[in-house]
Each structure stands twice: as C-alpha cells, then as structure tokens.
Structure 1
Amino acid sequence: MVKHNNQYINREISWLWFNERVLQESADKNVPLIERLRFLGIFSNNLDEFFKVRYATVKRIVEAGKNGKSVLGGEKAKDLLEEITKICIDQQTKSLDILKQIGEELEEQNIFILQETELTDNQKEFVKNYFLQRVSPQLMTIILNDLTRFPTLKDTAAYLAVRMVLKSGSGKKEKRYALIEIPKGIDRFIVLPKEGDRNYIIILDDLIRYCLDSIFTMFEYEAISAHMIKITRDAELDMDNDLSKSFIEKISSSVEHRKVGDPVRFVYDKSIGKDTLLFLQEKMHIEDTDSVIPGGRYHNRRDYMGFPSLGRQDLLYDRIVPLPIKGLSMEGSILEEIAKKDYLQYTPYHTFAYILKFLREAALDPKVRSIKITVYRLANDSQVAASLINAVKNGKQVTVQIELQARFDEQANIEYAEQLQAEGIKLIFGVPGLKVHSKICVIEREEDDEIKRYGFISTGNFNESTARIYTDYTLFTAHVPIMKELNKVFDFFETTYKINKYKHLIVSPHYTKSTFTKLIDNEISNAIVGKEAYIKIKMNSFTSYKMVDKLYEASRAGVKIQLIIRGICCLVPGVKGMSENIEAISIVDKFLEHTRLFVFANDGNPKVYISSADWMTRNLDYRVEVGCPIYDEDIKQELMDTFEICWKDNMKARLFTEKQDNAYRKTKGPKYRSQFATYDYYLEKLKQ
C-alpha cells in the first residue's frame, strides 16, 4: 500500500481500490445476475477513464524527468506506474474469473453465451445472414504487412488482430497480419433465435470470427486466428494559444487531437501468438515500460453495461417509481409553492420532473423576465435544453454558462452550445483558468413592480438520464439573501475580475477552503471546552491533504467525525494519535452515490450544507463551485436523517482502513441496506 508518512493514501491507489468495490458488486450474489454483468461493464469503463486521465498524468511526470513526490502523496512517479500496472493485472485476472462464474450462472438460467465453435446449423445460418446484412457493410479491415505507416488505433475501439499462415509450395510459411475494427454501430451482444426456454447470445467479436473466411476470401491460407487488442490513449486536452481561434474552436481542436494522444495502455488477449504480439508492439512502438496488460478473450467490456435483459426482470433490480416531494404538487404553480417555503428534491428517490416543471413554468410565465443556469453535462435529448429554448422563444432573457471542458462531454457540450446560441440564448464560456462545476439556476420574476428571484442549487448535473441512477440533492428556494448571492455568482461569470463577498453561500475558488476550515475550527474549539462537537460529511472523493490534515487536527481535539466517501479517500481513519476519532465508509450499490453533504454540530444547533464540491484540490482551488446552507429546519432534519440512514448500512458499506482491503462493514442487528431504506423513508413521509 502506498502512503506518505503514514498520513495519506495515494489518490491513484485509492481510486483503484474504489474500482475494486465496483468489481465486488459484480461478484456479489445478492446483486441480480444481469446487473452483476453491468457492474463488470462499469468496472471496465472506469478503468478506461483512469488510464486516459490519471495514469496518463503520472506518465507525463515520468517522461518530464520528474519524480512527482510532492503531488503524488510521496510516491515516486515511476514506482507508482509499476504498482498501478501490477494492481490492474491482478484486478483483470479477478474480473475474468468473475465473468466466467457469471457465465456459468447464466447457463443455469437458460442463458447461453456461445462462441463461434459452438453454433448449431440453424444458428450458423442466422449468423451468416446477420453478418452479410448488418456487419459486413460496416466492417473496417486493414492488411498490415505492406503498410509503410501503421494505422492509428482509436482508444475507444477494440480490434481483432488477425494472423494468417499462407499456403506455399516452397514449404516456407509466409504470414499475413490484419486488423479488424469491431463496429460500434452494432449491438455488441447479438441475440440468436430462442430455442424452447433457452436464450442464446453471441458476442459480435465471435460472430466476426466465425465469418473470417468471408472477409479474407482473396487469401489462400492454411491457418487463421484472431485475437483482441485494445489501446488506451492520453485524454488530456492540449489547448493551443492561437488568439485568432474562438474558445469553441480551441476545444474542438483539442478533442480532435485527443484521438491521436500518446498510448498509455495496451491490453491484449493473453492467448495471442508471441509472433503476432511482437509484430504489433514493434509496429505500434509500444515499449515494455508502457502499461502492457494481458487480458482475456474480450476487451471493451464496458459494453456489458448494455447487456440485453432478454425480458428477464427477475435477473434485474426492481424498478423503483420516483416519488413526489411531499407538499409540492406538480399540478399548480411550482413558483407559488417555492415562494412560501423551501423544498428538497433527492433523486432518484424523488422524480427529476420538478426541475423540468420549474423551467417549463418559467419559460411560459409572462412575469418571468430572465433565466440563468449553469450547464455541465446534459442528457442526449435534453428536456432542460428544450425548456431553455422554449423560454427564449417566449421572449425571456436566457443566459447559460456552459462548461465546454466537462471531461469526455466536450463534444456534446459544443453541439449544445451551437444549438442554444443559434436559438438566441446568451452563452458564457467559463472563467479563464477555472472550470465551472457549480449546479445553479436563478430566474427573475416581476411581482408588484419589484423583481423576485427563485432558483435551485444542486449537488449534481441537470441531466434527466443520470438522475435515474445518481443520488443528488436539489434545493428549491426563494430565500432572498441566497438568491441575491446566487445572482452574484452569475455576475462573476461575466466580470471575472470582480471577486464578490458572500455571507451565506460557500463559493470556490475563493471561499470554500477557508469557510470549511472555520467551521472545523469551531468544532475544535467546542470539543476542547467540552461542548457537543461532531462533523458528518458525505462526498464523492477526498484528496485535499490540507483538509485531511484539518480533520486530523479535529480528531486529536476530540471531535467525532463520520465520513461517507464513495470513491477516493486519501485520509487514513482510526490511527491512534492521529485519527482515532474518525470513521470512514464507502457505499457502492444500485445507485451511484453522488451527494455532497456537510453537517457540523455547532454545540447543538447543527449547521448543514449541500455543495457541488468534493474536497479535492481541483474543487477547492481550480473550479467555480457553490455550497448552500440549509435554513429550513424540516429540510435540515431530512438531510441529517438521510445521512444516518447511509451510516447504518451494513450490507453495502465498506470500511476505509489502513489495510485498504475493502472489507464489508459488519454491525450487530438486522441487515440494513441504505438505498432501499432511503426509498422507504420517503415513502413513509408521504403517508404522514
């Protein structure tokens, strides 16, 4: 395990252990069988992004001739790369074992995933026709031997590396090599005709393997084989300094350049022939110092996220029906209700429709003058965007702060930016040197010759698709001081040289670190004199060493600290003399835990905040984030209740310890699964 003076867990290693928790879900027999396959896909997709971003960053440090100890938690960059590769190979092996086990369990459920050698005559006929009609027209095949320049492999694609041994009367064995790109426009899992109660599936790769003869008819060969390979490239955006280009042009150019970024990982089928592997590595200039990882027969296993359900609802999680917010009707005016009191939306337990209702009402209300909103990630067919376009068509002034550098959503946001701009919406493209990660909206409505503001502040993106699986809080409010300060944040987007002061909101990059430090100091002071002192925090990731040190200081002063961190956690809890008053858990389950919640005892009068920011250096210092205090006592209690529900979890909670072994937390009493209990909590509230 990588630590720095026994104080910090290295963030890259901690992230890998988070992904191990995702892998645990694919092995957990309490998880429905097809959902387990989908968790395997999430594990693979996460790992792809890790190599594109984090591994690539560490590799850049190595190539720059630096050791990186100051930014890598005390670990030398070169040693860290080696440790990452070792862990990934171990996890890859484990994931293949899990996949094999799931395959056996699927067969017990009459679901059979066939390889090309296992097809019946009827299935062979189906596969040939499917290949000719659907696959062959989309197939990209390249013969490699005679090329002067090796083709650039896409980091989002998987390839079959084909080796042919040609027939020869001379006795000399001539070899030909080729690459087949697995088409992305076709489902990876092809459902074959059902036979009785038996369901059959063939993976697209194997369907292509079966049809190799049809592809290479022009070659006379005595042997042919195909093994999968995959390349992962550095996904860092390199922005040029050409002043003649617009910001959109620079982002577009950077996204395009990402396609040919330096390779950072090469994964291959471990059963591939040594001569084929050597040929590919030489042609692709892949060194042994790169992350070269032997894998299984199939790569791009992220596609398992889309494994077909086959109508087997019994092998999937039960679908929950998102609940209404108690007291907030979808029938009347949502603005009138918010004018009376604040409301909390907690997706996916509550329906996301309240945000859409808010925006649609604002778009039509003749008294609404303007709408301002931040956009980080939108759904593919976004009703949020449609509502904003509807508003501008109704004569409203609509301003959208859109973050073009939202990682891996850059192209989608560029397209939305062009669409919104074409409709007459005013766009703001970020703050120089900062990403805008805040999730906020303000509307201005004329009432009795005055301007009244309404809005919402969220911990997550305004995305109706991810709202079905991401847990996020959204506060609807017309609280005058909060709305006034929220409007200041939008002013900052347009006049970045002017730094505003805030009495209520906690805004990065200027105030988040200092405000939370003061709140922790208050708990320390209270603990020292024997007053009630505790801190309860729920975040995605915790990597800021300065904030870690601050919690260590609080722990030494006697402040009781409970942390629920889904992903990376650089803090080491439970160490005598340093962190014995800190407990930390991670919950990985059906939904992705995405809320950020902060509770401070404040000597019996708790201060409660929600925020878009984790305690990571980037969130504290290099992003525009907004945290919001909760003043409504009912909502404050509701948030503390939901924290306690999560804290009681003894089925899906894992402990953070010095061992970093992802041990499940075990407590006395009945089994308690927090995500299911949270839904029941809100169901019960509706009955009260």
Structure 2
Amino acid sequence: MENIKCYTNRELSWLQFNERVLDEAGNPRVPLAERLTFASIYQTNLDEFFMVRVGTLMVQMNSGEEIRENKTNMTSAEQVSAILERVKELELKKARIYEQLMGEIDPYGIHIINFNKLSESEGEVLENYFDNNIAPFLSPMIIGKQQPFPFLNNKQLYAYVILSSKNGKTKVGIVPCTNSVFSRLIEIPSRPGTFMLCEELILHFVSKLYENYTVKEKSVIRITRNADIDAADVYDEDLDYRNFMEHLIKQRTRLSPVRLEMSRIINEKSKIELASSVGISPLHIINEQTPLDMSFVFQIQDRLHTKPGLFYKKRSPRPSLSLDLRKSIIAQIEKKDVLLSYPFESMKPFINMLHEAADDTSVVSIKMTLYRVADKSKIIDALIEAAENGKEVVVLIELRARFDEANNIEMSRRLEEAGCRIIYGLGDYKVHSKLCLITRHTKDGLSYITQIGTGNYNEKTSRLYTDLSLITADQKIGSDAANVFRALLLGETVESTDCLLVAPNCLQNKILELMDSEIKKAAEGKKAYIGIKINSLTDKVIIDKLIKSSEAGVRIELIIRGICCLVPQIHGKTDNIKIISIVGRYLEHSRIYIFGDGENPSEQKIYIGSADFMTRNTERRVEVAVPVYDQDIKNRLLHIFNTAMSDTEKGKELGNDRIYRSRYTESEKSVNSQEIFYDETYRPSAIKNA
C-alpha cells in the first residue's frame, strides 16, 4: 500500500465531519437558537453512526473472520476501539459547548436546572407534581429471578437504580422515562421559563417508587442498537417483498446493542453487571455530562421565537429566473435546458411540470425513481393524478432507503392503488438515482423530457439541502434515460450509455477515463484541472486515480462535506490537491464533477449527479449523472463551485496532518457561499452578472 500515508480511515473521518457540526453549535457567529439545532444534529448524527457503521463493524468482529479496511488496513476491532476513544473525547467537547449554550440562553429567560438550584418550597412543589402527574404513569421494575432484565428500547430513556433491601441484598430497579403523557420539560410553577428534564425529576424522586428499598446509586441510561440489516442477506423470494420489509423494520428495533450512555458514574462492579445484562462490552459504556436526548432543544427554540436576532434571517425559495410559471413548462424546456438550484430556488416548476404532464394528451408515460419523499408529497399527488388520467406511470420506489422504509412502503401502496406500476430496487443494488423521464408522442414522433437531480424528490428537504436539478429536452439524454428504465423494469442494470454516467457499470470507469484525459493534458504541458463537489470520498479506486492525477501535475479542487479518506498536500503525492468542507445553515448535498480548466470551454466537461465517490455508490447502487451541454448552465455551475470553493465563513480546509482548520479571518470580509446564493436569487441581476 504505497499510498497509505495519503489515506484516512473512513469512520474517523466521519467523526471529524460530526465534530464540524458540533463546532457550529459553539460558533458565536451562528445565531444562538440555531446553535441549539446543531447540538441536536450532532447527537442524531452520532446515534445513526452507531446504529449503522459501528453496528456493521461489530457484526464483522463477531463473524470470527478478520476483516481489514482497504485503505488504512485497520481491523474492525481496531476501528471500533478508535471510534470509542474519539467519541469519548468529543462528548467532553459537547459538554463544554452545551454548558456554554445554556449560559448564553439564561439571560433570555430560559433555564434548565437541577435540584441543587431549587429552594425547599420549590422542591416540595415539584414533589407534589411528581406524585400526582408523573408517578401514576410510571412502571418501575425490580430485576430478580422471577423478573428477568427487560428489553431496553432503542434510544429511549430509563432510570437505572441500584437498591439495597432491608435484609441487605442488592437489587436493580429500572424505570422507563419515555412517556407521551407528560412533557419532557417540566416547568417550575414559581419560576416561569425555568425547567427540569422529566428524567431528572424521575431520578430525583425514584426512591418514592421503591419504598421498601434504599437507593444506593442511580443514573439515567440510554441504549443504542444496531440498525444495519441487509435485506438481501435474509430475503425469502417466496415472500411479498413489501410485507417482508415491514417485518424487517420491526426486527431492527430488537437488534444487538452497540452503545450504552449513562448520565452518572456508578461503581465498576455494577457497571460490568449492567453491561452483561444488556449484552454489551463495558468499553461501549459512555458516561455523559449532557442530557442523553437533546431533542428538547426544539421546545426551547419555541420559547425563543419572539426574541430578535436569535434565529437565521428568514429565507424562502425564489422563483426560477429561467421559467415563467404562467406558461407551459414543457414548451419552455423544449427551447432551452433549465437548472434549478435548491433551496435558493423553488421546486415548484418541477412539480408544475409533472401536473402539466398528467394533463397533456401528448404524454404517454411518466417514469421516476424515488428514494426518499416527503410524507405529504405533492410529487406523489402528481403521479397519482397522471395515473388516474390514463397515463402509464412507472415508479421505482426503493424500499431499502434506510430509516425511510416505512414511509416508502406507505407511498408505494398509495401509488399502486391509483394504478401506477410499482417496481422495487434491484436485488443486488439499491436504486439511488434521481431520474424522471416524460415520454411524449408528438406530430414529430417520440419525444423525451428528462430530469436528473442530485437530491431526493422531497419538497421538505429541498428547502433545507443544497441540491441541483437539470431538466432537458435533449433526446440523447432522454434515450439513455429510457434505457435505464428499460433495464430496471427487467431487473437489470445498463451495460453501456452514450452520454449519461450510470452506476454500477458506467460511472466509475467513465470518471476514471475523464481523469486520465486530464493526466494526459498535464503530460503534454497543458493546463489540467479536476473539480469535484460531493458529500463523501471513500472509493479507493478513484482516490488512487486522484493521487496519480496530482502526481502528474493536474490541479485538483475538492469540496467534500463529510467523509474524506484522501489526505491532501502530501509531498510528492497529493501536493496539487486542495480539499475543503462546508458545514452551514443548509446541508451541502449537490454533486458536481468538472473536468478541464475552462481555457477552452468547448472541451470542459461538467456533470451533476446523484453519486458520491463512495464504493457503495459507484459499485453497489444505480446512480445517474448527466452531462451539462448548455454553456449558460455550465457557467452557472462553475460560479456555484468557485463560490463554494472560496467560502471562508463556513468552509474549513483539510491539511496534510488530517486536521480541518477554519479559513475565517477577522481582518477580511468573510465569504458565506450559501448566503451569496440566496442573495443572488433575491437580487436577480447579481447572478446574471456573475
């Protein structure tokens, strides 16, 4: 592994990304109430990381087979050990930031307190509240021979109590603290705006639930379970696939634990016994100094909405300058390709186009791939309208979109009941592409309108994620898209394409060829350039080609929000590679691939697509990227890329020591790319002159 010094472990790189999210919670230049959101996002991100990535590594560890990661050569056990060590460090950082946040919120009349800060009379009021409004709804348990250790639900809160009976025997008590009857935040009646977390109230008065025992030690605990079920490994083809997936979702909630969090330290013997009872190593127990569930911060935000300056300036998606919603969208697309940029521009033109297609007598069929959709989806409504109007509507809905399976199952039923033809993901490949094909029969014959995007067909996330959507009447692109759907309907993947990049067979290899072209230019003494904006970079084949490109003298700029397994600026290897990550108000989600420095615009190739450069995307999913032919749209994409690359407010640059450093300086006017893009949509002349 000659390039090993150029690699970073995937899991540790992801933890760096989540630390950048945590940094936003502690960033004084972010509005105070918004920093609470970043603190909560940090926790939910980490929960999912343990449920999926750590869960997968632990399954590998328990398989008995030594599996090594293909870049840093770490075993699964080594990775888990390194993850736990790093997470414990990050949790200390989170505790400092949380304490800082609570201190800054205090002057605005919101206080989260514990019993140490209550007067005796206030304690009596809370005790009365506990007796009448909480205790009757609790189900305390004693663990013994007749009462085995209960199953602890994923991510729910429990009071864990070590008890001593009158005869001196030690017992364990467990009280579920998650309940829909009482609020998570309990307001102190004599102090408006002052709250106590319900689990802390329960823990304080837990002795009242065990009157025949003495409470020796106590803690709030929270367990995280593996959620990484591979449907392909357990699927019985004789079963209905949708029913099978529903069963699998239920099974996920009872998988093996991967982490146990505790709000207080207990004695080592009891800690080992608790670990044994839940089936986890004591090394996976993490002592926290912050609440184990941070979702209550949104209740705090509700209380702060009347306070000026604590939230981001209100922004809403603007109409696209390229389209007139009063006229036929299809007719306008036939004249010129259109690029929509979310959340700065509205998704409405695309939704309007679907409704127009539903009513257009020339439209024969609408085909779409759906990965994640909103729970009240206008796109689903448009497809149902088309089917009810007699159009052929074919929808590939991926039931294995992790944590969205239940919503996708429900949507598939709605579509099917309306007369749409539903197909599910391919057996060996998830279908992650964002592809829509409208087929028309006009006086001139067969005609296609094709939409290819970087993000899901989800109206909600289109207001929160930065994504791109190209709509084109280019017939070669339409023909390629038709071939993609033809293959999907046969349960296959396309083997070749004319212009689209389509994983798993026609994306990675074509990206490598495009990189080889830049290497060849550099060898000939010409300017050579690669610019990539993606969410994650883990594909070793592509990483090695980037290293080779750098060695050849190709200038490379990478904008990678999350995982990045490539280390830049390594002497003699990655000197020509610059890598930044942007974590800001909106989740960076768009993917742009640029080949060529633009000196000769006709030779520069630019694509947008659904694929990150991860092995799962390039080899194990159906992904689609589309070439951009329209020079105006090319220029706009270059503007988006270059502006993001120059971001000094939210952009952090990765060094050869594997550390991300802020590019912000007090002496210079900072560049916030996301705010610039919104300003441009509010001031149309700005983008025209860009």
| Pairs within 5 Å for 1:228-627 | 228-239=220-231, 240-274=234-268, 276-288=270-282, 290-296=283-289, 298-302=291-295, 304=297, 307-310=300-303, 311=305, 312-448=307-443, 450-497=445-492, 499-601=494-596, 604-605=600-601, 606-627=604-625
In the other structure, the counterpart of 1:661 is: 659
Greater shift after overlay, 95-104 or 388-397?
388-397
8 A contact 2:6–2:568 mirrored in 1: no
Partner of 2:64: 65
Q: What is the CA–CA distance in structure 1 between the aligned matches of 2:223 and 2:446, rounded to whole Å?
A: 55
Pair 417,46 (structure 1): closer, same or farther in 2 beyond 3 Å: same
Aligned-pair CA distance for 1:313: 4.8
The letter for the 1-side match of 2:6 is Q
The answer to whether the Cα contact below 8 Å between 1:438 and 1:626 also exists between their aligned partners in 2 is yes
Tell me, what secondary structure is at the counterpart of 2:519? helix
CA distance in structure 2 between the aligned counterparts of 1:180 and 1:16, rounded to whole angstroms: 30
Is 1:183 the counterpart of 2:175? The answer is no
Residue 4 of structure 1 contacts residue 74 of structure 1 at CA under 8 Å; is this kept in 2?
no
Which residue of 2 is the match for residue 31 of structure 1?
30
**Which letter maps to 1:201?**
F
Q: Is the 1:3–1:73 Cα contact (8 Å) retained in structure 2?
A: no
Q: In 2, Cα distance between the equivalents of 1:349 and 1:558?
A: 36
Alpha-carbon distance in 2 for matches of 1:219, 1:549? 65
Question: In 1, are the aligned partners of 2:416 and 2:422 still within 8 Å (CA)?
Answer: yes
Q: What is the TM-score of this pair, normalised by structure 1? A: 0.92
> Root-mean-square deviation (CA), in Å?
2.7
Check whether the contact 1:131–1:211 (CA below 8 A) recurs between aligned residues.
no
Q: Does 1:633 align with 2:626?
A: no
- For 2:610 and 2:386, the matched residues in 1 are separated by 26
CA 1:318 to 1:253, structure 2 compared with 1: closer, same or farther past 3 Å? same
Do the aligned residues in 1 keep the contact of 2:496 with 2:505 (CA within 8 Å)?
no
Matched-pair contact (CA < 8 Å) for 2:560–2:579: yes
Q: 1-side partners of 2:582 and 2:588: how far apart?
A: 7
Q: CA 1:194 to 1:482, structure 2 compared with 1: closer, same or farther past 3 Å? A: farther
Where in structure 1 are there 5+ consecutive unaligned residues? none
Distance 1:193 1:529, change over 3 A: farther
Alignment check: 8 A CA contact 1:228 1:298 kept: no
**Helix, strand or coil for the counterpart of 2:448?**
strand
Change (3 A) 1:561 1:647: same
| Structure 2 residues not aligned, in runs of 5+ | none
Distance 1:627 1:139 in 2: 53
TM superposition shift of 1:594: 0.4
Q: What is the aligned partner in structure 2 of residue 204 from structure 1?
A: 198
What is the CA-CA distance between 1:498 and the residue it aligns to? 6.6
Please give the alpha-carbon distance, in whole angstroms, between the structure 2 residues aligned to 1:80 and 1:72: 12
Displacement of 1:492 in angstroms is 1.1
Partners of 1:370 and 1:123 in 2: CA distance: 67
Distance 1:382 1:364, change over 3 A: same
Q: CA deviation at 1:293?
A: 1.5
Counterpart CA distance in 1 for 2:146 and 2:458 is 45
- For 2:91, the equivalent position in structure 1 comes to 92
Change (3 A) 1:647 1:193: farther
Aligned to 1:648: 646
Shifted more, 462-471 versus 446-455: the winner is: 446-455
Deviates more, 1:653-662 or 1:546-555: 653-662
Residue aligned with 2:415, SS: helix
Measured at CA, do residues 569 and 481 of structure 1 come closer, stay the same or move farther in structure 2, by a change above 3 Å? same
- d(CA) in 2 for partners of 1:510 and 1:180? 50
What is the alpha-carbon distance in structure 2 between the residues aligned to residue 136 and residue 160 of structure 1? 13
**Whole-angstrom CA distance in 1 between matches of 2:555 and 2:412:** 46
Identity of aligned residues (%): 33
Equivalent position amino acid for 1:94 in 2 = K
Retained in 2: the 8 A contact 1:4–1:73?
A: no
**Residue of structure 2 equivalent to 1:219:** 211
1:24 alignment partner, SS class: helix
Question: What is the CA–CA distance in structure 2 between the aligned matches of 1:3 and 1:35, rounded to whole Å?
Answer: 44
1:187 Cα deviation from its structure 2 partner: 5.4
Q: Structure 1 stretches (4+) deviating beyond 6 angstroms?
A: none
CA apart distance, 1:112: 1.0
Residue identity opposite 1:261 in structure 2: L
Measure the CA separation in 2 of the matches of 1:396 and 1:347: 29
Q: What SS does the corresponding residue of 2:302 show, helix, strand or coil? A: coil
Q: Name the SS of the counterpart of 1:93 in structure 2.
A: helix
Deviation per CA, 1:199-241, whole angstroms, max 9, x where unpaired? 3333232343466477x2x734454764211112221214324
Q: Deviations over 1:59-83 (max 9, x none)?
A: 2222223332253631132222211
Give the distance between the partners of 1:264 and 1:227, measured in 2 at CA: 19
CA distance in structure 1 between the partners assigned to 2:74 and 2:622 by the alignment: 30
> Secondary structure, in 3 states, of the residue corresponding to 2:395?
strand
- With over 3 angstroms needed to count, the CA separation of the structure-2 counterparts of 1:193 and 1:649, relative to structure 1, is farther
8 Å CA contact 2:493, 2:504 repeated in 1: no
Range that drifts further, 55-64 or 510-519: 55-64
Secondary structure class of the residue paired with 1:84: helix
Indicate conservation of the 8 Å contact 1:513/1:620, yes or no.
yes
CA change 1:421–1:181 in 2 (3 A) is farther
Distance 1:174 1:552 in 2: 61
Q: Which moved more, 1:508-517 or 1:328-337?
A: 328-337
Asked whether the 8 Å contact 1:85–1:291 carries over to 2, the reply is yes
* Letter matched to residue 375 of structure 2: N
In structure 2, how many angstroms separate the alpha carbons of the residues matched to 1:251 and 1:553?
43
Partner of 1:683: 682
Q: CA deviation at 1:553?
A: 1.0
Alignment CA distance shift 1:192-1:340 (3 Å): farther
Q: 1:498 to 1:673 in 2, by over 3 A?
A: closer
- Stretch of structure 1 that moved more, 9-18 or 232-241: 232-241
Deviations, residues 130-188 of structure 1 (Å, cap 9, x unaligned): 9856x66765543323544322212232222134445x4x6x36545123142368653
Mapped to 2, the partners of 1:348 and 1:27 lie a distance apart of 25
Q: In the alignment, what sits opposite 1:157?
A: 156
Q: How many residue pairs end up in the alignment?
A: 678
- 8 Å Cα contact 1:128-1:211 kept in structure 2: no
Cα distance in structure 1, aligned partners of 2:365 and 2:501: 24
